[in-house]
A and B are shown apart, each in its own frame.
Chain A
Amino acid sequence: MTDNTAQDAFVEFEKVQKSYDGETLVVKDLNLRIAKGEFLTMLGPSGSGKTTCLMMLAGFETATHGSIRLDGTSINNIPPHKRGIGMVFQNYALFPHMTVAENLAFPLEVRKLGKSIREGKVNRALEMVEMQTFGGRRPAQLSGGQQQRIALARALVFEPELVLMDEPLGALDKQLREKMQFEITGLAHRLGITVVYVTHDQTEALTMSDRVAVFDDGRIQQLATPDQLYEQPENSFVAQFIGENNTMEGIVKEVDGDLAKVELDGGDVIACKPINVSQPGERTRVSIRPERVEFDKKRLKSGAHTLKAEVLEFIYMGDIFRTRLRVAGNDEFIVKTRNAPDQVRLEPGAQVEIGWLPSDCRALDA
Chain B
Amino acid sequence: MTVSTKTDQILSADGMPLKKSLGRALRHQKRRALMLVAPLLIFIFVAFIMPIVSMLFRSVENDIVVNTLPQTVMALQSWNAETEELPDEDVYAAFAADIKLAAETKTHTKVGLRLNYEQAGIASLFKKTARKVKKWDIESDGPFKEKFIGVHKNWGKIEIWRTLKVHSSRYTSGYFLNAIDMRKTAGGPKAQPEDKQILLLLFQRTIIMSLVITGSCILLGYPVAWLLANVPLRKANLLLILVLLPFWTSLLVRTSAWKVMLQQQGVINDLLVQLGMVSDGARLVMINNQTGTIVAMTHILLPFMILPMYSVMQTIPPTYLRAAKSLGATDWTAFWRVYFPQSVPGIGAGSILVFILAIGYYITPEIVGGTKGVFISNRIAYSILKSLNWGLGAALATILLVAVLILYWAYDKMVGIDNVKLGG
Chain A residues at the B interface, C-beta cutoff of 8 Å: 58-60, 79-87, 89, 91, 93, 95-97, 106-107, 110-111, 154-155, 158
Contact = CB atoms under 8 A, between A and B. Distances in A.
Given A96-B342, A97-B341, A110 B323 contact: no
Given A93-B317, A97-B342, A87 B328 contact: no
B interface majority secondary structure: helix
Contact of A95 (B320, B325, B331, B333): B320
A182 B119 CA distance: 89
Contacts, number: 62
B329 A81 contact: yes
A84 B323 CA distance: 12
A81 B325 contact: yes
Contacts of B333: 110
A84 B327 CA distance: 7
A10 B333 CA distance: 29
A215 B60 CA distance: 79
Interface in B322-348: 322-331, 333-334, 337-338, 341-342
25 contacts: A58-B326, A59-B325, A81-B328, A81-B330, A81-B331, A81-B334, A85-B326, A86-B327, A87-B322, A87-B327, A91-B317, A93-B319, A93-B320, A93-B323, A95-B324, A97-B342, A106-B327, A106-B337, A107-B327, A107-B329, A110-B327, A110-B330, A111-B328, A154-B327, A158-B327
A106 B324 CA distance: 8
A97 B328 CA distance: 18
Contacts of A110: 327-330, 333
Nearest to B323: A93
Given A86-B327, A93-B320, A106-B337, 9 more contacts: A60-B325, A87-B323, A87-B326, A87-B327, A93-B317, A93-B319, A110-B329, A110-B330, A155-B326
Contacts of B317: 91, 93
A151 to B, nearest CB: 9
Contacts of A155: 326-327
Contacts of A60: 322, 325
Contact of B328 (A58, A93, A95, A107): A107
The interface centre, meaning the residue of A82, A84, A107 with most chain B CB atoms within 10 A of its CB, is A107
A106 B325 CA distance: 11
A106 B330 CA distance: 12
Given A97-B341, A110-B333, A89 B323 contact: yes
A195 to B, nearest CB: 14
Contacts of A97: 341-342
